[in-house]
Amino acid sequence: MAQCLSCGSTSPEIPAVLGLCLRCIREGTGTAADVAADVHARARRYYGLREAIPEDDEGVRCGVCRNRCLIGEGMAGYCGLRENRGGRIVELGGTPERGFLDWYYDPMPTNCVADWVCAGGSSAGYPTYSRSRGPEYGCVNLAVFYRACTFDCLFCQNWHFREGVGGGRSTSAHELAGKASPQTSCVCFFGGDPTPQMLHSLAVAEEALEAAGDRPLRICWETNGSMSRVLMAKAAEVALRSGGTIKIDLKTWDPNLSRALCGVGNEQTLENFAFVASKMGERPDPPLLVASTLLVPGYVDEQEISSIARFIASCNQDIPYALLAFHPAFVMDDLPTTSRRQAQAAEAAARAAGLSRVRIGNIHLLT
């Protein structure tokens, strides 16, 4: 039973490392913001990453994502892939020549947050974007896991990427595009997050699509949505053209909760989400945009889901919304898994907010 370091309340849904309850985070009570910032700093320091978004004196501004790091001479940015050398930004990775990533073939239909509505896992998009009237059995997804991120989620389900940021194996866009075999029906960029390496993913996408010719090949991104508007617009255009899906993880609604759990604000994510949603009418089937939220016990409650769902509905009521069960991970490894009661209450809240295409994912994790 952990105790909140701000108000002194106790709960089994307060992770020992963070030590803050939801009420204190939302209300900005006492030292809640400082406590959360210190937890993020310590977690990032362990992996050699900048402890906070840099605002270095006389630094050079990076414009790849919402963080807009002001990077000092000889220093790195928040994602770890950009440095200031001699007064200019040098990209260590994420360019067409060099991406830090892992890739593998995932048999279709794959375990994707959009598989219940996309052209690869459902009847959507046939025959223009899909090879079959239903799930594409016999095909594969080229899954590309990028080893960097613009967020610092304390509940990260794929936290291991931090061990390889800026080092280890690198792959050029040309080499990776060549892995899209004739059996490959979709390419999905995720991670970590593709945001710090968007230029690499876009180069892979264009080359793979050119090689595919008339064969259906969907290009998808699963992301926190924090990239610049220019990069998001390019991804949306490629996804639209190929029959792919932009899957944006709306981790929180409350900005204080976003900073406490994810280390950064969520304003760019919400703006990019609304931007992509405005393009859904250009290709209603399969859906261009899918939203998802991880149901973190003690933090992502019915109030949070209701607010997120109302925002989604205000953009477009037909946007599919996946609610994902949480598994203890990273520095929140002492939290319980998502309960069936929490998941069902979240689903009801999302539907009450005006959404009809709502699904609970990872149901095997529910307790």
Q: ∠ CA 75-76-77 to the nearest 5 degrees?
A: 130
- Determine whether the annotation assigns residue 262 to a binding site: no
What are the tokens at 339?
A: 């309960």
CA 260 to chain CA centroid, Å, is: 17
Amino acid, res. 121: G
Which H or E element spans position 170?
strand 170-171
In 271-357, the DSSP E strands lie at: 289-295, 321-325
Look at residue 182 and give its three-state secondary structure.
coil
How many CA atoms, within 13 angstroms, populate the side-chain half-sphere of residue 313?
Answer: 16
> Count of residues for the chain?
367
CB-count exposure of residue 51 (10 Å: 0-12, 13-18, 19+): middle
- Determine whether the annotation assigns residue 139 to a binding site: no
- In angstroms, rounded to a whole number, what is the distance separating the alpha carbons of residues 322 and 81? 30
Measured between alpha carbons, how far is residue 230 from residues 84, 199, 264, 272 in Å?
22, 11, 20, 10
Q: Which residues pair with 190 in a beta bridge?
A: 145
Q: Sort strands 218-223 and 289-295 into parallel, antiparallel or unpaired.
A: unpaired
Peptide bond connecting 196 to the previous residue in cis, omega within 30 degrees of 0:
no
- In angstroms, rounded to a whole number, what is the distance separating the alpha carbons of residues 1 and 12? 5
Q: Is-contact 262 153, C-beta < 8 A?
A: yes
DSSP 282: G
Q: Sort strands 289-295 and 246-249 into parallel, antiparallel or unpaired.
A: parallel
Binding residues for [4Fe-4S] cluster: 149, 153, 156
Binding residues: 149, 153, 156
